[in-house]
Amino acid sequence: MLQLTSDHGQQSSAAVVAINYEKLLEETLKRLSALYGDYMTSEQVSRELNYSENYFRKKIGNAQYQHLAWVKVINPARKKKGRFWVYGTAAVATYLGQGS
């Protein structure tokens, strides 16, 4: 005999993953915004990514490394503030929130 089951009221695993991703992203953004504000220096970003500042600066500014996942996310949020480059905190949080 064929028995049919109903899964009414249950979320798919994809929906659960999406909710968890949004929650992680929100928590990461709150933490970084509280620490650094709207923009972060290269020193602060490299510390959050666990890279040396020298490595970070070489990769973020070189066209040959635009294929790196973290460069793809963070580089578009880069802007000049005075003499220095700063990076959008939201972009850094987005990359960190991906669990990469």
Sheet arrangement for strand 39-41: 39-41, 84-88, 78-81
Predicted local confidence at residue 61, as pLDDT? 87
pLDDT digits (tens, 9 = 90+) for 37-74: 999 999 999 999 999 999 999 999 899 999 999 999 99
- Rounded to the nearest integer, the mean pLDDT of the chain is 85
What stretches of the chain show up as alpha helix (H) in DSSP? 13-36, 42-49, 53-60, 69-74, 89-97
> Under a CB-based contact definition with an 8 Å cutoff, are residues 83 and 40 in contact?
no
Indicate yes or no: pTM above 0.85. Answer: no
Q: Where are the chain's structural domains?
A: 37-100
Residue 16 identity (one-letter amino acid):
V
> Under a CB-based contact definition with an 8 Å cutoff, are residues 59 and 65 in contact?
yes
